[in-house]
C-alpha cells in the first residue's frame, strides 16, 4: 500500500498514472489522459454479422454456381439459402436479418445470395441503409439464353405452359402491311434480360466501383478466370484457382446448378 500523504501532489499524480497504466495493460485497456480505451483485439469468437457482400442477381445466370465456388474460400461464409430480406422480409428488421447469417471470425466475409434483389425497386435504397460500402456481385449472361433457361424451368413445373415463342413474341401490323412478330418486352423472362433498367436504380445509390459484373458464359468456359476477378474484387487472397476448383470438384463438391456442372465438365476437358 502506498501512503500518498508523503508524496507531493506532482509525485502523487505521476504514481497514479503509472499504476493505472499497469492495471489497464492487465485488463486490456490503454490509458490516454483521463480516458480508458479498450484495446482492439482480433475477435476469435465466431459472431453473426450483416453481409459484407451480396449476390443480387440475375436469376438463371449462374448465381448459384458463383456461390458454390465462393464457398470453397476459407474466408467466405454465406447464408444457407436465399433470405429475401430486402424484397420480402425487410419489415422484420436488421437484427432478424443478422440472425440468418452464419457466424464468422473477424477478417472473414459474410455473404448472401438472393437474385430477386436485382429487380426489386426498393432494394438499392434498403441495401444502402444497411451498408453504403457493401460490395455487390451481379452475374449476367446473353438475354436470350437467360430467357430460355427461365422458361425451361417454368415449363418443367407447368407442362401446360404455351410454347416459348408464343410467349416471347407478339404479332404487330406495320404500315407497309403484313404481320410481323416482335419481342414482348413485358413478358418477365424477357424483361429480366433488359439489364439497363434495374442497373440505373443501383447506380443511383452505389458507385460503379462497388458493383462487379460476372459473365455467366465465362463462368462456364473459364471459371478460374472469373473467380480470380471475384476474389480480387472482394479483397480476398487468391485461393480459388483452376487447380483448387478441379481438386474440389473431383472430390465430389455438390453442384446443384447447371452452370456449375457445365463448368466442372469444362475443367475436366481442359485437364
43: Cα within 13 Å, side-chain hemisphere: 11
| 149 annotated ligand binder | yes
Instruction: Using the Cα atoms of residue 56, residue 59, residue 62 and residue 65 in order, give the sign of their dihedral.
Output: positive
- Taking the CA atoms of residue 140, residue 146, residue 149 and residue 155 in that order, the dihedral angle to the nearest 10 degrees is 130
- Judge whether 47 is annotated as a binding position: no
60 marked ligand binding residue: yes
Q: Check 60, 100, 113, 135 and give the catalytic one.
A: 60
Kindly report whether the peptide bond that precedes residue 58 is cis, defined as omega within 30 degrees of 0. yes
* 210 marked among binding-site residues: no
Q: Is 41 annotated as a binding residue?
A: no
Q: Is the dihedral of CA 173, 188, 200, 214 positive or negative?
A: negative
Task: Give strand pairing partners of 109.
Answer: 76
Cα dihedral across residues 134, 135, 140, 146: positive or negative = negative
Would you call 60 a catalytic residue per the annotation?
yes
218 a known binding residue? no
Any known ligand binding at 125? no
Residue set of the binding site for 3'-phosphoadenylyl sulfate: 60-64, 141, 149
| Residue numbers annotated as active site | 60
Amino acid at each position: 500500500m502506498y501512503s500518498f500523504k508523503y508524496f507531493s501532489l506532482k509525485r502523487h499524480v505521476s504514481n497514479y498514472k503509472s499504476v493505472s497504466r499497469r492495471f489497464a495493460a492487465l485488463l486490456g485497456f490503454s490509458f490516454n489522459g483521463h480516458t480508458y480505451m479498450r484495446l482492439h483485439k482480433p475477435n476469435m469468437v465466431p459472431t453473426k454479422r450483416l453481409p459484407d457482400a451480396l449476390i443480387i442477381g440475375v436469376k438463371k445466370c449462374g448465381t448459384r454456381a458463383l456461390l458454390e465456388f465462393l464457398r470453397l474460400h476459407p474466408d467466405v461464409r454465406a447464408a444457407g439459402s436465399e433470405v429475401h430480406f430486402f424484397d420480402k422480409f425487410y419489415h422484420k428488421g436488421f437484427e432478424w436479418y443478422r440472425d440468418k447469417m452464419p457466424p464468422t471470425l473477424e477478417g472473414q466475409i459474410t455473404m448472401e445470395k438472393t437474385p430477386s434483389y436485382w429487380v426489386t425497386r426498393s432494394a438499392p435504397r434498403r441495401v444502402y441503409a444497411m451498408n453504403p460500402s457493401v460490395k455487390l456481385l451481379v452475374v449476367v449472361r446473353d438475354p436470350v439464353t437467360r430467357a430460355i433457361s427461365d422458361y425451361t424451368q417454368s415449363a418443367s413445373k407447368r407442362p401446360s405452359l404455351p410454347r416459348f415463342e408464343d410467349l416471347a413474341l407478339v404479332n404487330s401490323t406495320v404500315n407497309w402491311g403484313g404481320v410481323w412478330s416482335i419481342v414482348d418486352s413485358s413478358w418477365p423472362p424477357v424483361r429480366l434480360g433488359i439489364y439497363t433498367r434495374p442497373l440505373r436504380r443501383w447506380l443511383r445509390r452505389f458507385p460503379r466501383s462497388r458493383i462487379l459484373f460476372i459473365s455467366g458464359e465465362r463462368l462456364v468456359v473459364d471459371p478460374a478466370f472469373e473467380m480470380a476477378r471475384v476474389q480480387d474484387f472482394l479483397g480476398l487472397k487468391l485461393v480459388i484457382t483452376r487447380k483448387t476448383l478441379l481438386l474440389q470438384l473431383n472430390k465430389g463438391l455438390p453442384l446443384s446448378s447447371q452452370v456449375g456442372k457445365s463448368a466442372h465438365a469444362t475443367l475436366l476437358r481442359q485437364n
